[in-house]
Amino acid sequence: MVDKHALRYLSRADVRRCLPPLGGQIDLAEEALIALARDQAEAPARSAIHPRDESSLIAMPALVRVSDTVGVKWVSAYPANPSIGLPDVAALIVVNDAETGLPLCVMDGTEITARRTAAVSGAAVRLFAPPPRGPAAKGADGAVQPYFVGFVGGGNQARMHLDMLLEILGPLEIRVFDAIRERAERLVDEAAPRSGVVSAAVVESAATACDGADLVVSAVSSRALGENAITDDLLTPRCLVLCIDRAIMVTASVPASAGLFLVDDLAQFLYVRDAEPGGWYAGYPRPHGSLGRALVADERIASGRGGGVAGGLDDPDAVVASSGRDVAAALGGSSAGRVVLTCVGVGAVDVVTAGAVHRIAELEGIGDVLDR
């Protein structure tokens, strides 16, 4: 029998074997986001170093009290790496025992980093995805209408988000723009034969990718590939915008004109925005709140215990209609406008996911047990 305090190592292949299915990954992201919103988690401001231009290594510790999970992610972001055949993102995650502080598991964190970003977006899609192509969800023949999805950036995060969108929404028509056309072509070639993809095409500009889209995923890897290409006038008033690339492409006019502007972690966002004037998120307005706060509001609205416009989130007597868009009004936004989610990256989501992976690895005997 393995010592419960044994130190286990999990490779990326091991982590992939132990990850819950997509729906479970989104559930874990929601758990962490809600814990942060309810002050049941600690995720202090990240510590970063920058060995090269536009490159960084970041430490992201977190404690989530709901599952009593403790850990830290050490992640690198080197956008130039693909040009020399290396991944642009690499990570390790350490899971510790909350009772003793001993490290229990060291795992490759690259897979979790990729998946948890799409899982956070998935929580927003569950709540805020607009009906495809307006209010009618079915065509004249009764068939479900596909969602138009515009991808600005066709790399690994676009792949992760495509998996997530197919899982949640069903049929999709996708358009992909990438400054490196070959990357967009690879994504389209991979997507086209998949069940649920009605059509897939490479387009020549971010504007074309955004034109008429129900959802926009902005996921470019570097400012060197272009920036500030997505402005509010390119977007429909009802679309959901998922900005996961440190606002490289999405200009400040988009969240400024949104009915609801959310971030994955409000404190982290404000820290990053204000740390370096003229840096990431320069000119971005203060968000209406965090995605976790929106999820809490949705729970209260659905249960009829308040969270509405009249009383605010902490008024148990306030009642509003039960629908995802009503959360916008509960957070001080507009239920009629577009929703924008900007993701800085929340260590609590990584750590909760890593904790679940570690538990599965222990139960199934996956990975290598190391000497201390």
pLDDT tens-digit readout, 337-348: 899 999 999 999
Dihedral, 353, 156, 149, 207 alpha carbons, nearest 10: 130
The mean predicted confidence, pLDDT, of the chain is: 88
pLDDT of residue 139: 52
Name which of 123, 328, 88, 155 is nearest 242 in CA terms: 123
Annotation: CATH topology of 121-287: Rossmann fold (3.40.50)
Sequence spans of domains, the chain: 7-113+348-370, 121-287, 289-332
For the four alpha carbons of 358, 361, 366 and 368, in that order, the dihedral sign comes to: positive
The DSSP result for 228-293, as a single string, is: --B-GGGS-TT-EEEE-STTSSB-THHHHT-SEEEES-HHHHHHHHHHSTTSTTTTPPPPSEEHHH
Residue 150, beta-bridge partner list: 175, 216
pLDDT: is 1 or 52 the higher one?
A: 52
Backbone angles phi, psi at 290, to 5 degrees: -95, 160
Q: Which of 77-91, 220-234, 295-309, 339-353 has the lowest mean pLDDT?
A: 295-309
Distance CA 123, CA 187 (A): 23
pTM: 0.89
Mean predicted confidence (pLDDT) in 29-38? 97
Angle between helix axes 156-169 and 181-191 (nearest 10 degrees) is 30
Token duo for residue 325? 């868009």
Token duo for residue 324? 């995802």
pLDDT of residue 309: 37
Three-state DSSP class for residue 73? strand
Burial of 51 (0-12, 13-18, 19+ CB in 10 A): exposed
Q: pLDDT above 70 covers what percent of the chain?
A: 90
CATH homologous superfamily of domain 7-113+348-370?
ornithine cyclodeaminase, domain 1 (3.30.1780.10)
Token duo for residue 319? 């009642």
Which H or E run contains 62? strand 56-64
Token duo for residue 164? 């997530």
Encode pLDDT of 283-292 as tens digits: 999 999 999 9
Mean predicted confidence (pLDDT) in 176-185? 95
User: Is residue 320 scored above 50 in pLDDT?
Assistant: no
Encode pLDDT of 221-238 as tens digits: 888 878 999 999 999 988
